[in-house]
Amino acid sequence: MNEERDEKVAIIQGEFHLSTKDANQLVDRELEKWDAILIEGREPVYSLENAGFGFWYYAIGAIFTRTLIGVIHRVKEKLRIGENDPWVDDDIDTNYSIDANHREIWNFTNKWIRWGSLLFAAVASLWALMNLNFLSNWNNMFFATYHSTLFIYPFLPMLLHIITVVNPTNSRKRNEVMCDSIINYTSEQSHDRVLILVGEMHREGITHQMEDRGWKINSKPTHSGVGKVISRIYRRFGNW
């Protein structure tokens, strides 16, 4: 690349989080020409001290979702139908914490969405407790046991987490946070050539905001076919 070093340049790669195609495509380049990789979607759940019940439930879902995605990636690698995230072996400054922290994400979301989702989870949990053999009609020895009902419970907080994270209002606010984080981090570290990996739904919003702040952006959509279809569906519900 021949841009002058005083020009701020970034590649923003949209990602479908269940696939590693986008992460691997982003780092499949001469990394010595870049100052850093900034990544959304790998942040841990922060301290639960003094958290309310709603956030506790959300946090369980966030942990379970991140763990499930990691397991899916490992299984795909074992089956040789995918690769793991490539970050650990890359000799480049890497920042995994450009997104809002989880308490902020929870509070960004409309209260009716938050508490409506909690109410749904509570009703579904009570229904499952009162119908312990509801899976027995599958005529399968595994599903015909009461204990198999427990498998429903991790998915309810995961559903709450997904509903909380995946809505236009929340995404727009997170775009602002991520753009501010990117600008502040690159300024503090004197980086002017960076690679950025964000969820496909955030790519366009962050691209526009960074261009407005003087960055030259090469915006690349997700390489995942499933991710492209899902993003088209989501965009019918609003400007993300």
3-state secondary structure labels for all residues of the chain: CCCCCCCCEEEEEEECCCCCHHHHHHHCCCHHHCCEEEECCCCCCCCCCCCCHHHHHHHHHHHHHHHHHHHHHHHHHHCCCCCCCCHHHCCCEEECCCCCCHHHHHHHCCHHHHHHHHHHHHHHHHHHHHCCCCCHHHCCCCCCCHHHHHHHHHHHHHHHHHHHHCCHHHHHHHHHHHHHHHHHHHHHHCCCEEEEEEEHHHHHHHHHHHHHCCCEEEEECCCCHHHHHHHHHHHCCCCC
Indicate whether 128 pLDDT > 90. no
180 or 60: which leads in pLDDT: 180
**Which pTM was predicted?**
0.82
Q: Are 185 and 98 contacting, i.e. CB atoms less than 8 angstroms apart?
A: yes
pLDDT band at 131 (very low <50, low <70, confident <90, very high): low
Domain boundaries, the chain: 1-42+87-100+167-240, 49-84+110-166
What is the predicted pLDDT for the residue at 3? 47
Share of the chain above pLDDT 90, in %: 28
**Considering the chain, what is the average pLDDT of its residues?**
82
Indicate whether 1 pLDDT > 50. no
* Alpha-carbon torsion (121, 126, 132, 137), positive or negative: negative
pLDDT band at 82 (very low <50, low <70, confident <90, very high): low
85 or 155: which leads in pLDDT: 155
Q: Which of 119-128, 134-143, 196-205 has the lowest mean pLDDT?
A: 134-143
Average pLDDT over residues 186-193: 94
The whole-angstrom separation of Cα 188 and Cα 67 is 32
What is the predicted pLDDT for the residue at 231? 84
pLDDT band at 209 (very low <50, low <70, confident <90, very high): very high
Indicate whether 135 pLDDT > 60. no
**Pick from 153, 162, 151: nearest CA to 58:** 162
Indicate whether 99 pLDDT > 90. yes
Indicate whether 177 pLDDT > 90. yes
The whole-angstrom separation of Cα 91 and Cα 86 is 11
Question: What are the two backbone dihedrals, phi and then psi, of residue 180, each rounded to the nearest 5 degrees?
Answer: -60, -40
